[in-house]
């Protein structure tokens, strides 16, 4: 297949090639030949293969064709051409003059691809393929002087992994990627040493690869396109760092986006990259202690606290197969780890066993700005900056986002107050139930238990106003009316969905209405706690039994750590 190249310096210019190079300055409407024949032009290699009865005219066995063509992204007009009969030419004046700079290599090698360095106009890499000649060794050559001298750079790539493509990272000089017959290899020292970069990639021929922004995209032979999302950690690797017990890499710039909560994976589709700000870290050995990850805002306040210890939460049964479950536990394995922060603040206090029509209450979506990521293990911590950018489609809406965020955090606080009251009520009801189970037949406790039952009834009246107690499934609100918990949850999702406009007058009025109703029930509950709960507790204590206890809300306060 003839190479086709769009000039990195002029979007109007296109190059292509046959046995010579052609240039178009008008989007392909007309073409000019800018080289002579750059091949060996061996007529014996230009005959149909096969026979003697039937010829094979697929042209795969033809020679004397320019197979690789590229222009230096640094020096305009520096062109490299490689052929399938083993020649490499270079021009520094946009094809006016060409020089044969073929390195010393076996005859009739195929120059599969030439990569002009994005940092130096005199540097280039060439992937050489000889498998059609039963030579399955890898060949990559490099020049730093426009082809006057070449060096072989294949240390670490085994025999059998013959090379189809080589690329240099456009953001990290000397970071190379090679696509071979057996997979992908990476070099962190300009090709002096190579190592596999296979991960979960199927073992298959890699015919080409390219770095697009922060992703490595590879084209396999028969196994589809694959993308290695977010290669920023590879750009930060260094020999001294690998000796550290743990490393926290600086994350790539993240976008403030609304990621889908449901995704149909029953169709023949690929996997999306992790949703959120991808945070990468490395452990020399798997930590024995708890690992914590904190997100801090511009003022150093912790806005999200995460841990490697899994928390047992009363989550809803998985009723919807397409729903994307939120990951709240960070990995802490030996080697590389990746966690995607969903760009949200800490969730409000949760009520175990509560059902919702959607994903339930969540923390507020973070505002664009500068944050810090803090990784802590065994009393030591590392901190790196994280930049969160606004969705490009919403530029200019920063003021509206701030007002939306303010309302969202207020709603989150109110949901926490609501849930704390529900949890306190249910905890006390459970204590009363335990008292009946253990001492229900004790005549001396009859008055205390009667008073406790009266308290239980009063608490149930408040509980019914706070949460729909009959809701036992995500669609329970179709049979039972929504009360404060379900209304606050739905309202939180409504205001969270907006990005370009500030909260409406109607939304602010709804918030005030819901808040007033919540205050009424919290006042009732506060009165019960200060009077009835105290009364029942005193009666129970007179029987030499433990008093009723109201558990205070749990706060996620990070421990003091030592930065390293």
The CA distance from 404 to 410, in Å, is: 10
Nearest to 126 by CA among 107, 110, 148, 106: 110
Nearest to 45 by CA among 61, 23, 68: 61
* Residue count (the chain): 564
How would you classify the pairing of strands 163-168 and 176-180?
antiparallel
The angle that helices 398-439 and 505-527 make with each other, rounded to 10 degrees, is 20
Q: 250 with 271, same domain?
A: yes
234 domain residue, yes or no? no
Sign of the CA dihedral with 74 first, then 77, 83, and 89 last: negative
Q: 409 with 386, same domain?
A: no
237 domain residue, yes or no? no
142 domain residue, yes or no? yes
Pair 481, 490: CB distance under 8 Å = no
* Threshold 0.95, pTM exceeds: no
Nearest to 340 by CA among 230, 198, 213: 230
**What is the DSSP secondary-structure string of 438-478?**
HHTT-GGGHHHHHHHHHHHHHHHHHHHHHS-TT--STTGGG
Number of H helices and E strands in the chain, helices first, is 6, 30
Domain around 213: 4-228
- If one counts the domains in the chain, the total is 3
Q: 22 with 60, same domain?
A: yes
* Beta strand extents in 93-224 (DSSP E only): 99-100, 110-116, 124-129, 139-143, 151-152, 163-168, 176-180, 183-187, 195-196, 206-212, 215-220
Domain finish residue from 228, 261, 282: 228
Phi, psi of 542, deg, nearest 5? -65, -20
DSSP 505: H
**Would you state the structure tokens that stand for residue 414, as one six-digit string?**
């109110």
547 domain residue, yes or no? no
Q: 127 with 222, same domain?
A: yes
Q: 382 with 284, same domain?
A: yes
- CATH number, domain at 107? 2.130.10.10
Q: 146 with 218, same domain?
A: yes
If one counts every other C-beta atom within 10 angstroms of the C-beta of residue 99, the result is 13
If one counts every other C-beta atom within 10 angstroms of the C-beta of residue 6, the result is 13
Tens digit of each residue's pLDDT, the chain (564 residues) = 789 999 999 999 999 999 999 999 999 999 999 999 999 999 988 887 777 778 776 666 678 999 999 999 999 999 999 999 999 999 999 999 999 999 999 999 999 999 999 999 999 999 999 999 999 999 999 999 999 999 999 999 999 999 999 999 999 999 999 999 999 999 999 999 999 999 999 999 999 999 999 999 999 999 999 999 999 999 998 766 667 899 999 999 999 998 888 878 777 778 888 899 999 999 999 999 999 999 999 999 999 999 999 877 666 666 677 778 888 999 999 999 999 999 999 999 999 888 888 888 999 999 999 999 999 999 999 999 999 999 999 989 999 999 999 999 999 999 999 999 999 999 999 999 998 888 878 877 888 889 999 999 999 999 999 999 998 877 777 888 999 999 999 999 999 887 788 999 999 999 999 999 999 999 999 999 999 999 999 988 887 777 888 888 766 555 555 555
Q: 252 with 273, same domain?
A: yes
**Would you state the structure tokens that stand for residue 266, as one six-digit string?**
């029953």
Q: 523 with 452, same domain?
A: yes
């Amino acid at each position: 297949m003839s190479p086709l190249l769009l000039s990195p310096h002029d979007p109007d210019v296109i190059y292509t090639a046959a046995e010579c190079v052609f240039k178009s300055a008008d989007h392909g409407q007309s073409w000019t030949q800018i080289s002579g024949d750059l091949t060996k032009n061996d007529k014996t290699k230009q005959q149909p293969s096969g026979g003697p009865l039937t010829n094979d005219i697929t042209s795969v066995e033809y020679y004397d064709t320019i197979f690789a063509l590229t222009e230096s992204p640094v020096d305009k007009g520096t062109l490299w051409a490689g052929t399938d009969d083993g020649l490499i030419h270079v021009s520094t004046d946009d094809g006016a003059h060409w020089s044969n700079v073929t390195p010393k290599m076996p005859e009739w090698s195929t120059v599969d691809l030439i990569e002009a360095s994005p940092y130096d106009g005199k540097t280039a890499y060439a992937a050489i393929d000889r498998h059609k000649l039963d030579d399955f060794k890898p060949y990559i050559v490099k020049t730093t002087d426009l082809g006057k001298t070449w060096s072989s750079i294949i240390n670490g790539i085994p025999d059998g992994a013959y090379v189809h493509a080589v690329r240099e990272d456009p953001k990290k000089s000397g970071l190379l990627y090679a696509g071979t017959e057996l997979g992908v290899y990476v070099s962190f020292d300009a090709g002096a040493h190579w190592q596999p970069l296979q991960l979960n990639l199927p073992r298959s021929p890699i015919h080409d690869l390219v770095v697009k922004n922060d992703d490595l995209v590879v084209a396999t032979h028969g196994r589809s396109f694959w993308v290695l999302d977010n290669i920023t950690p590879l750009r930060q690797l260094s020999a001294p760092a690998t000796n550290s017990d743990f490393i926290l890499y600086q994350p790539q710039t993240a976008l403030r986006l609304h990621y889908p909560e449901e995704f149909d994976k029953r169709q023949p589709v690929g996997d999306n990259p992790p949703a959120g700000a991808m945070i990468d870290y490395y452990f020399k050995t798997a930590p024995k202690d708890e690992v914590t990850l904190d997100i801090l805002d511009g003022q150093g306040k912790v806005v999200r606290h995460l841990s490697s210890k899994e928390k047992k939460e009363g989550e809803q049964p998985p009723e919807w197969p397409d729903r994307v479950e939120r990951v709240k536990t960070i990995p802490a394995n030996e080697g590389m780890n990746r966690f995607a922060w969903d760009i949200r603040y800490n969730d409000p206090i949760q009520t175990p066993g509560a059902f919702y029509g959607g994903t339930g209450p969540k923390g507020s979506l973070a505002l664009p700005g500068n944050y810090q990521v803090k990784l802590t293990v065994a009393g030591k911590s590392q901190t790196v900056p994280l930049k969160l950018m606004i969705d490009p489609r919403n530029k200019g809406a920063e003021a509206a986002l701030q007002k939306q965020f303010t309302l969202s955090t207020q709603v989150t606080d109110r949901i926490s107050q609501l849930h704390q009251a529900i949890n306190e009520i249910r905890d006390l009801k459970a204590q009363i139930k335990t008292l009946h189970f253990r001492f229900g037949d004790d005549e001396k406790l009859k008055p205390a238990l009667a008073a406790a039952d009266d308290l239980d009834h009063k608490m149930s009246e408040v509980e019914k106003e706070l949460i729909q107690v009959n809701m036992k499934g995500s669609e329970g609100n179709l049979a039972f009316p929504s009360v404060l918990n379900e209304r606050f949850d739905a309202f939180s999702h409504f205001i969270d969905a907006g990005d370009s406009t500030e909260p409406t007058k109607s939304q602010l009025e709804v918030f005030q209405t819901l808040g007033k109703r919540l205050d009424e029930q919290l006042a009732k509950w506060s009165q019960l706690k200060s009077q009835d709960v105290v009364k029942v507790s005193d009666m129970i204590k007179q029987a030499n039994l433990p008093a009723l206890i109201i558990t205070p809300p749990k706060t996620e306060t990070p421990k003091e750590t030592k930065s390293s």
